[in-house]
Amino acid sequence: MRIVLIGQAAFAEKALEALHAGGHQIAHVFAPADVPGARPDPLKTKALELGLPLSQPASFRGDREFDQVRALDADLAIMAFVTLIVPERILYAPRFKTICFHPSLLPRHRGASAINWAIIEGDAETGVTWFWPDRGIDTGPILIQRRVPIGSADTTGSLYFNSLFPLGIETMLQAVDLIAAGNAPATPQDEALATYEAPCRDEHAAIDFNRPARAVHDLVRGCDPQPGAFASLAGRRLRLYDAMLKAGGGDTAAPGTVVNIDRDGMRIALHDASILVRRARFDPSPKKVAPADLAAAGEIAVGARLE
């Protein structure tokens, strides 16, 4: 297959590596524009390493980008982790059009933070979808899907890197084989089952300790590593990571109260349970540390109330 790859970050890098190793002809690679002072995107680095033609447009909306893609005479375009809007005329330019990766079981959790919201909303499972994109946001017909369970200790980071990332690459190769064989499905999404959530940002990451214990735990896991669920302590924003729900409770402390700090972490009272936090940081520090280190520095203590 003669393929155009559009993407970014480690996922697109791995997708390019897998397609190249599989003997597919890479007609062109589209990587993000360089950011001054930042390292080159991994997709750019891999494309240069393989000696492949590369472009880094700031947008795909112009006539120049459309004419460029059309002139490539590609069989298929693959969108592997794309944040720019790609217009329909580019999506439909290759012979077999374009397929796109999404880390959820579409039509559930459309949008840029699908993994975060699957955990925050307490889903028991999620998965990967390769679909045929159209002008909507994650609305096109489904080509292939695979399911994975969400473990009680999973975070957005662990779920992506341990499960969805490798499964996404595996299913991409399966999808390309289906297309090459002329057996690729295009199953319309059921709009009655569709959900869409905004990108998970700080406005969604504030912890309400009056909510049920599992909801608090799911929020912390779903915001780990980004944006980091947070609470306020003496006017400072404290972000919590690497958390474990401790069922049963028995503490009489009010929810949000720090009831213990030791080398295992910091235990915070919840309704009928507690949560053990093993890493934390105060804004604006980027460094996540053991709560015992914060206690040793006098920044937090048993009995403190997080709000």
Q: Is the pLDDT of residue 251 over 90?
A: no
Give percent above pLDDT 70 in the chain.
99
pLDDT tens by residue, 9-50: 999 999 999 999 999 999 999 999 999 999 999 999 999 999
The average confidence (pLDDT) of the chain is 97
Q: What is the mean pLDDT of residues 78-107?
A: 97
pLDDT band per the 50, 70, 90 thresholds, residue 247: confident
Is residue 262's pLDDT more than 80?
Answer: yes
pTM, rounded to two decimals: 0.95
Q: Which residue has the tokens 């590369």?
A: 54
> Where do the H-state alpha helices sit in 195-262?
202-205, 213-222
142 has pLDDT over 60: yes
Letter string b/e over residues 236-262, b meaning 16 or more CB atoms within 10 A of that residue's CB: ebbbbbbbbbbeebebebebbbbbebe
Q: What is the pLDDT of residues 202-233, one digit of tens each?
A: 999 999 999 999 999 999 999 999 999 999 99
The amino acid occupying position 103 is P
Pairing of strands 273-282, 258-262: unpaired
Task: Note the pLDDT of residue 134.
Answer: 97
Pairing of strands 125-131, 98-102: antiparallel
User: Sign of torsion, CA 82 84 88 89?
Assistant: negative
What whole-number distance in Å separates Cα of residue 255 and Cα of residue 264? 20
Query: Mind listing the domains of the chain with CATH numbers?
Result: 2-193 (3.40.50.170), 202-296 (3.10.25.10)
For residue 249, pLDDT over 60 is answered with: no
At 174 the pLDDT is 98
- The per-residue pLDDT for 252 is 81
Of 272 and 69, the one with more pLDDT? 69
Contact 128, 168 (CB under 8 A): yes
Nearest C-alpha neighbor of 245 from the set 272, 269, 217: 217
E-strand ranges in the chain read 2-7, 25-30, 54-55, 76-80, 98-102, 125-131, 142-149, 229-233, 236-247, 258-262, 265-270, 273-282
The percentage of residues in the chain with a pLDDT greater than 90, rounded to a whole number, is 98
- Distance in angstroms (rounded) separating the CA atoms of residues 250 and 142: 48
Give CA–CA dist 244/178, Å, rounded. 41
Asked if the model's pLDDT at residue 250 lies above 60, the reply is no
Q: What's the length of the chain?
A: 307
